[in-house]
Amino acid sequence: MNGILSGKKILLGITGGIAAYKSILLLRLLVKEGATVQVVITPSAASFVSPLVLATLSKHPVAIEWVKDDAQWANHVMLGRWADIIVVAPTTCNTISKFATGLCDNLLMAVLLSATCPVMIAPAMDEDMWLHAATNRNMATLRSDGHIVLPVAHGELGSGLTGEGRMLEPEIILAHIVQMVSGSKPLVGLSAVVTAGPTHEPIDPVRFIGNHSSGLMGIEIANALQAAGAQTTLVLGPTHLRANSAVNTIMVTTAQQMFDAVANVFPDTQIGVMAAAVADYRPATVADQKIKKQAHELALSLVKNPDILQHCGMNKSTNQLVVGFALETNNEAANAIEKLQRKNADMIVMNSLQDEGATFGSANNKVTIFEPGGLSQSFPLMSKQDLAKEIVSLIAKRIHEKA
Ligand code: CTP
């Protein structure tokens, strides 16, 4: 079969969670794309999904136990070495914990610990478990061990509650697998414009209105877009940080200058990512001379700055993709969804100032990405560099869907 995964060998691990029913669809998609799939399930997964269905769809016997019925040993080392990629979907909290500590109490764990290929895990659990410090610690360990930990979706959970922790939809997991296995630069031939950093709105020759943004998140996105093959222009407000030299950086100071630079470049790009912390207002007039201390009170009259994201969202063509950010302190999800609609964006990356370790100037961030149609993905706390790669991989998927 001549699918996008033709000739690829994929080992699909399934652990015992309610999301296992979606693994059947993932298996079908992998086979449809031409992959050879060997399924290995944990003993508890057999209560959630039938080995007979998996064997029929994969056209291979399903491995569960160390020793098969015919007394043949399941060679976990060979299974771990056979695959081009191992994908465990769903991965329960229990398996994440075992994998992080190297506990080897079933065949799938032995395969994971014998793997010589990339290992991708798609977590699925209830929100309280997903947010627990121990789970976050374990996922950070898996990441630093070099494994790919996919985000989770927001929605209805096995417990009947609604929140973060749903396994990603099979189509989205497939897109991650395709990108990983093909190892290509998915954005070659495309161009992008990114805004980053604060803006400074002058009051007089020595003073300005500004904010604490370091610009790091937008700079990492510009680096990741460039690394994925897109010709990237970064419109950067006043900050001491810089992007890689391959990124074409335009330095600006004010929101109006940022707007002008973006408006100029945007029509020739396919991707716009507005990550700057743009000042919403600027002083109505800028004093020529330093304002002297005189009266007891001083009132500044402010006028609204143009909204760069909204401009791009409202003027985009059908083959352009526009991504915005939302920094929220309360009613986070509702505000982010409102911003997505008001600015006609294709994606809003929302971070909350309530999230520990994800503040201004930090190297880390914790976000949820909202897309039209109620789609959302919540990522755990991770470095802004890793997060930029995740955002760019989602952009790559969406832009190719538009094409
Ligand atoms: N943004 C922009 N131009 C502006 C203001 C905001 O491009 N003049 C972009 C930001 O880069 C970000 C998104 O809009 O991608 C949301 O910014 P935010 O400050 O959270 O939203 P606002 O529209 O300013 O709404 P509010 O201040 O009411 O939350």
> Which domains are seen in the chain, by residue range?
9-181 (3.40.50.1950), 191-402 (3.40.50.10300)
Counting from 1 in the atom list of ligand 1, the atom nearest the Cα of 335 is 29
Q: Residue 19 burial by CB count (10 A; 0-12/13-18/19+): exposed, middle or buried?
A: buried
pLDDT of residue 355: 64
370 CB within 6 A, ligand 1? no
Q: Residue 302 burial by CB count (10 A; 0-12/13-18/19+): exposed, middle or buried?
A: middle
401 CB within 6 A, ligand 1? no
pLDDT of residue 382: 86
Helix and strand tally (H, E) in the chain?
Answer: 13, 21
Residue ranges, the chain, pLDDT below 70: 1-2, 68-74, 182-184, 354-360, 403
322 CB within 6 A, ligand 1? no
344 labelled catalytic: no
- The residue type found at 217 is M
pLDDT in tens, 67-109: 766 656 667 778 888 999 999 999 999 999 999 999 999 999 9
pLDDT of residue 80: 84
Ligand 1: which of 307, 328, 350 to mutate, most ligand atoms within 8 Å of CB? 307
Whole-angstrom Cα distance, residue 215 to residue 40?
44
**Distance of CA 141 from the midpoint of ligand 1 (Å):** 34
CB 222 within 8 A of CB 261: no
Nearest CA to ligand 1 atom 16: 326
**Distance of CA 247 from the midpoint of ligand 1 (Å):** 24
pLDDT in tens, 303-361: 999 999 999 999 999 999 999 999 888 888 999 999 999 999 999 999 877 666 666 67
